[in-house]
Amino acid sequence: MRLIKSDTMELKLNIAGLVEQIKKQKKVKKAILQVPDGLKTEAQNIIDKLTIATKIQFYLDIEPVYGACDLATNFSEAVNADLIIHLGHSKFCEASKKVIYWPTYYDMASKDLDVLVKNIDEKLKQKKIVFVGPIQYSKIIKELEKRVRLAKVIKTTKTGLLNENQILGCDTSILDDITDKVDAIVYIGDGNFHISALAQKVQIYQLEDLDIVPYDQKDEIRGKIMSEYIFKNAKNIGILVTSKVGQNNFLVAEKIYTKLKKLGKNPYLLIADFISYDKIMGLKLDCIVNTACPRIIDDKENYKMPLINYKDILKFI
């Protein structure tokens, strides 16, 4: 089933495979379906197809879903569902409920892959490179690894719950053992969120149409320096914690709280499920330290107060 089509890529869902997977589960009468926000326009279509094929009753989780860390375990309990079907992402955390993770994958036509490979080979001739990206791009990355000839591809080794070549905005650990061994990291994915999580120890390239271009982190670095300055001078500091199963870092938050107290600051632990500015409106804070998904920072303009990811302040406390 084709979900999204751009000039060069198609995002596909293997719905027949998913039906087969659901049918393998025993005693499932009710399920929660989670789809990433970008695929909500297709959610009803998907539910219709799954309902006809499996005869299961489906609830659609309409809360924002950014990653497999956003598991609907609470909804599953609320409606006594037997299964959570999480579309678009791969497994990220352990859950107390039965979950089928069903990623969606981008495809690229062979002739377009050839153009991209030619550009990579020309720009990174004789360089040691590693390809990384979100799970949705893993099929394209596999093809690139097979086709690139002039650049030397160094393979990542699969670790933990991440797949080979997979990075998340909160986890780039597959590169830990390899960054020192390559001349360039080639990010195959969209947007700047995942790529901004990469440490700038070697040159990073990002996909642009059927080419790669150097990634420039200047604005991010400037933003981080500014946030650090604000944090050092802040007195009243909110520490954001989410109850979402895969983003819950309450132990880290409590450690930060204790350290900030020792530094003579006034920290406050703040908890919510989905985190947004309207939930902290009215609180008198000089800045907020975020221990939930680092992507919240993308929304920082709406927060009307400085927002800093916790990893960026650990060196100061």
Which letter, b or e, does each residue of 90-109 get, where b requires 16 or more Cβ atoms within 10 Å of its Cβ?
Answer: bbbeebebbbbbbbbbbbbe
| Lookup result for tokens 């993308």 | 298
Task: Give the whole-angstrom CA distance, residue 203 versus residue 152.
Answer: 15
Which letter, b or e, does each residue of 200-238 get, where b requires 16 or more Cβ atoms within 10 Å of its Cβ?
Answer: eebebbbbeebebeebebeeeeebeeebbeebeebeebb
Task: Give the whole-angstrom CA distance, residue 242 versus residue 249.
Answer: 8
> Does residue 189 belong to the site contacting ligand SF4 (CB under 6 A)?
no
> Does residue 66 belong to the site contacting ligand SF4 (CB under 6 A)?
yes
Site string for ligand SF4, 207-246 (x = CB under 6 A): ---------------------------------------x
Task: Give the whole-angstrom CA distance, residue 145 versus residue 131.
Answer: 8
* Residue with smaller CB distance to ligand SF4, 129 or 303: 303
Q: Which of residues 153-182 bind ligand SF4 (CB under 6 A)?
A: 168-170
Do 169 and 143 meet the contact criterion of CB atoms below 8 Å apart?
no
> Does residue 67 belong to the site contacting ligand SF4 (CB under 6 A)?
yes
* Residue with smaller CB distance to ligand SF4, 97 or 265: 97
238 strand-pairing partners: 268, 288
* Residue with smaller CB distance to ligand SF4, 246 or 267: 246
Helices (H) and strands (E) in the chain, counts: 8, 16
Give least dist CB 310 to ligand SF4, A.
12
Task: Give the whole-angstrom CA distance, residue 190 versus residue 134.
Answer: 9
Task: Give the whole-angstrom CA distance, residue 121 versus residue 116.
Answer: 9
Q: Which of residues 277-306 bind ligand SF4 (CB under 6 A)?
A: 293-295
Give least dist CB 117 to ligand SF4, A.
29
Do 172 and 198 meet the contact criterion of CB atoms below 8 Å apart?
yes
* Residue with smaller CB distance to ligand SF4, 66 or 303: 66
* Residue with smaller CB distance to ligand SF4, 66 or 205: 66
* Residue with smaller CB distance to ligand SF4, 147 or 300: 300
Kindly tell me which residue out of 90, 247, 291, 309 binds ligand SF4, with binding defined by CB under 6 A.
Answer: 247
Site string for ligand SF4, 81-110 (x = CB under 6 A): -----------x------------------
- Token pair, residue 246, equals 């895969």
By beta carbon distance, the residue nearest ligand SF4 is 67
Helices (H), 156-307: 193-196, 218-233, 250-262
> Does residue 76 belong to the site contacting ligand SF4 (CB under 6 A)?
no
> Does residue 198 belong to the site contacting ligand SF4 (CB under 6 A)?
no
Give least dist CB 159 to ligand SF4, A.
15
For 119, the 3-state DSSP assignment is helix
Binding footprint of ligand SF4 on the chain (CB under 6 A): 66-67, 69, 92, 168-170, 246-247, 293-295
